[in-house]
Amino acid sequence: MRKSERADYILKRLTQLYPNPPVPLDHVNEFTLLVAVLLSAQCTDLKVNQVTPALFLLADSAEKMTKVAESKILEIIRPCGLSPQKSKAIAGLSKILVDKYDGEVPADIDALETLPGVGHKTASVVMAQAFGVPAFPVDTHIHRLAQRWGLTNGKNVKQTEADLKKLFPKSVWNKLHLQIIFYGREHCSARGCNGMVCEICRTCYPRRRTPKTTLKA
């Protein structure tokens, strides 16, 4: 099976399995999505969704968040891990949004990436899910699956993102990155599949006899 054939099959199968994948992070607006994605770094979405209701009850906008003490933010988000850095970033980006963007989250990926604690992946998620702008956020999980499925041989998420964008039409990027995430969680997890267990891995590489080693992201 050629790479293009694998890509066509994967897109078709994931669309069958997840026709309308929801955004896994609970949020009510662009600001709360930005904060939730920031908190999800090295933390599960489940844990983030357990933590954010208390935070967003205090502040669901940049303006309100600037009035919350950083120590209080830290106290609430501590279960997410890396809480000192994340609380500082949330406080810092809230002030910038108020001072520079009238409290609104900018629909501009370059502007987003200048905010404290916001890297390319976080900015891409916000652009895709908050503003509907085509983006293909790639985390370590998508990086792993893309390698298992022979869609990339990139050694980092940046190269994997570039390769996936070349393979799939822009119109499916926003939905597809969510579909891959959900499939990875349910069928092709880091420990649950080694490149020879799940349906997609077996279909793409029916003759694979040794586990697929993922190049580090």
Active site residues: 121, 139
Q: At what angle do helices 3-17 and 157-167 cross, to 10 degrees?
A: 90
Measured CA to CA, the distance from residue 40 to residue 162 in angstroms comes to 23
Measured CA to CA, the distance from residue 109 to residue 120 in angstroms comes to 8
CB neighbours of residue 64 within 10 Å? 15
187: left (phi over 0), alpha (psi -120 to 50) or beta: alpha
Q: Are 89 and 95 in contact (CB under 8 A)?
A: no
- Tokens 């590489």 appear where? 205
| Residues recorded for the chain | 217
Collect all residues with Cβ–Cβ distance below 8 Å to 139 and sequence separation of at least 6: 121, 157, 181, 217
Q: Which two tokens stand for residue 54?
A: 């208390």
Measured CA to CA, the distance from residue 81 to residue 98 in angstroms comes to 26
Reduce the DSSP state of residue 142 to 3 states and report it.
Answer: helix
